[in-house]
Structure 1
Amino acid sequence: MTMMLFSLNTLADNPRLTLTTDLGDITLELYPERAPQTVANFLQYVEDGFYIGTIFHRVIPGFVAQGGGLTFDFVKKKTRDPVINESINGLANHKGTVAMARLPHPDSATSQFFINLEDNPHLNAKGDKPGYTVFAKVVNGMDTVTKITQEPQGRFRPQAPDTPVRILSIQYPKD
């Protein structure tokens, strides 16, 4: 496992991280200026090694691929306190963007995130109705995300791949 420690103060404007999964790499570009608390929360989980070994446990083709909270045997990992909702940041839930999963309460996001597989405007903030905070986008590796959606499902959980797709490491891209 390769883990690089870093501080938000030393990162480029839009830092990139590569998630290595069982099916390939996914490189994310983060947007700390648009979602500062959400990005700081995500990076703290990365720095803590929290995501290593978590799986994509909710995969709905044509909608989202969600992960970042359960182990391969579907045990929910203990999280830190929730982060405030920053969905009114001008970033929309378009195909390839990454947003925080949450419960019905808008300020309930902890570690779980999802990759939008299509444009999902119904997940955006509207008026005084909070949405789901977009904080990153996939800049390389949508083919890997597609592979995740093509895995057979339903053996253990209705929306989970039969063979768990784990996050094996997260690091800065080499290029």
Structure 2
Amino acid sequence: MASPEDTLILDTTKGVVTIELRPDLAPQHVARIKTLVREGFYDGLAFHRVIDGFMAQGGCPDGTGMGGSSYPDLPAEFNDEPHVRGVCSMARARNPNSANSQFFICFDDATFLDKQYTVWGKVIDGMEAVDQFARGEPVRNPDRINKATIGADA
């Protein structure tokens, strides 16, 4: 069980999703997510790219997949954790060191992404809510994060 400080709670339009943060795998990425959550950055943001059988992507402030936070991009923290159902990983551009605020949650095994994207957590409760997110690239009427919180702050 994750400590409250390493628990991310996403209250979404389809229900609550609880994610265990993994600072042991990606300390800088987990620190960035905690900072953004505590600033309210993710509140109201859409899951703008949701591909059936693959993943749900969110964390873009403008909903296009092109935006990020005001912080600099992060250096890659690729690790050995496999991209399987429920895994949370950072989205990025072509440059491996371009992750910023966008992330995705895997619906199914996506091990072809292993060691190319930074895994920073895993859904430990509420995956059925993620399964209900509206699909599309972009999604016409996207599901959203109503409020993101760190367990220690709840």
TM-score (norm 1): 0.78
Q: Which residue of 1 aligns with 2:17?
A: 26
CA positional deviation for 1:22: 1.1
* Aligned-CA RMSD value: 2.5
Q: Match of 2:74, SS?
A: coil
CA positional deviation for 1:14: 7.1
Q: How does 1:13-162 map to 2 (within 5 A)?
A: 15-71=6-62, 76=67, 78-87=69-78, 89-125=79-115, 131-148=116-133, 151=134, 153=136, 159-162=137-140
Gaps of 5+ in 2: none
User: How many residues in Structure 1 have an aligned counterpart in Structure 2?
Assistant: 152
Answer yes or no: is the 8 Å Cα contact 1:21–1:168 preserved in 2.
yes
Answer yes or no: is the 8 Å Cα contact 2:80–2:114 preserved in 1.
no
Taking CA–CA contacts closer than 8 Å with sequence separation of 6 or more, which of the two structures ends up with the larger relative contact order?
A: 2
Gaps of 5+ in 1: 1-10, 126-130, 154-158
Answer yes or no: is the 8 Å Cα contact 2:48–2:64 preserved in 1.
no
TM-score (norm 2): 0.88
2:7 partner letter: R
Answer yes or no: is the 8 Å Cα contact 2:5–2:151 preserved in 1.
no
**Aligned residues with identical type, % of pairs:** 37
1:116 partner letter: C
Answer yes or no: is the 8 Å Cα contact 1:66–1:113 preserved in 2.
yes
